[in-house]
Chains A and B, each alone.
Chain A
Amino acid sequence: MQELDFTGLACPMPIIKLKKFLAESSGLREPFIVVLSDKGGLKDIPAFCQQQKLFCELKKTEPFFVFQIQRVVGANE
């Protein structure tokens, strides 16, 4: 599964990089992993995903926050 490493980045860079990734991979339907160290991301990533109609699940919190994200079929199309 593709993994995006956003560790060491502070708000808002993780969501900016996530948005850029989504724009560059518009055909991607498979889930991918986002790893981040920014504590705010624990709330911000799900909020961003909700607004962008992405499925988002928190997988791990140690040592970093790990989210699995996937486009919802039919959304944003």
Chain B
Amino acid sequence: MSETAFFPDQFSVIQSKGTLDWAYASFILASTAAVMDKEVELFFTFYGLKCLLKDSNGLKITPLGRPDMVVKSPIGPEWLQKIDWNQKLPGLVWTLPGMSSLATKGFKKQLQKQGQLPFDELREMCLELGVKVTACQMTVDLMGFEASDFIEGIEFAGAPSYFVQTPATQSLFI
């Protein structure tokens, strides 16, 4: 039996990014894998730890330095909603005060319009579905966080604990 055949139903993500868009990406994939009977493990390290804080309002997006980001208005006439402002406006615009909050607000509205759950609910649902969530203890200490800063139902461990039980293949690094 090959190594991969030995772990046929596992899915894992190593999350190092702590922005709202990437937080959604991981938890959406995790919830999908969990309902398809996969054993799911999410390992949060470095800035990815922000995805696990009780107060998730710190999860934001900014088009600054992100030429890949699509920034569209969730409100207004149809022609207006089709414009990708990250392509139209000079990058300097995103340095103005309040732009990150505006982009984050728009992104949340867009998600809501599409039928996605608010982030806190999505995260809670993943835990209910049995997704195993681990915060990297080393980076928790490095960033000066306390265990009490994080949501209930997660574990604290190091990378060795993660690697000992995750599949030989099919890990994503976000």
State the A residues within 8 Å of B (CB): 8-13, 15-16, 19, 38, 48, 51-52
Q: How far is the CA of A52 from the CA of B115 in the complex (A)?
A: 24
A69 to chain B, nearest CB (A): 15
Q: Report if B36 contacts A (CB, 8 A).
A: yes
Contacts of A51 in B (CB 8 A): 36-37
Q: How far is the CA of A16 from the CA of B36 in the complex (A)?
A: 9
State the B residues within 8 Å of A (CB): 28, 31-32, 35-37, 114-117, 125, 129
Contacts of B36 in A (CB 8 A): 15, 48, 51-52
The 9 closest A-B CB pairs, nearest first, are A12-B32, A19-B35, A10-B115, A9-B115, A10-B114, A8-B115, A16-B35, A10-B116, A12-B31
Q: Is the CB of B115 within 8 A of A16?
A: no
B142 to chain A, nearest CB (A): 33
Q: How far is the CA of A9 from the CA of B30 in the complex (A)?
A: 17
Known A19-B35, A48-B36; contact A12-B115, beta-carbon cutoff 8 A? no
A4 to chain B, nearest CB (A): 15
Q: Is the CB of A38 within 8 A of B115?
A: yes
| 5 pairs from A and B in contact (CB 8 Å cutoff) | A8-B115, A10-B115, A12-B31, A15-B32, A16-B32
Contacts of B28 in A (CB 8 A): 11-12
Q: Is the CB of A12 within 8 A of B35?
A: yes
Q: Besides A10-B114, A12-B32, 6 other CB < 8 A contacts? A: A8-B115, A9-B115, A11-B28, A15-B36, A48-B36, A52-B36
Contacts of A11 in B (CB 8 A): 28, 32
Residue from B35, B117, B125 within 8 A of A15 (CB atoms): B35
Contacts of B129 in A (CB 8 A): 16
Q: How far is the CA of A38 from the CA of B28 in the complex (A)?
A: 15
Q: How far is the CA of A29 from the CA of B36 in the complex (A)?
A: 20
B136 to chain A, nearest CB (A): 26
Contacts of A16 in B (CB 8 A): 31-32, 35, 125, 129
Contacts of A52 in B (CB 8 A): 36-37
Contacts of B115 in A (CB 8 A): 8-10, 13, 38
Q: Is the CB of B116 within 8 A of A13?
A: yes
Contacts of A48 in B (CB 8 A): 35-36
Q: How far is the CA of A16 from the CA of B121 in the complex (A)?
A: 13
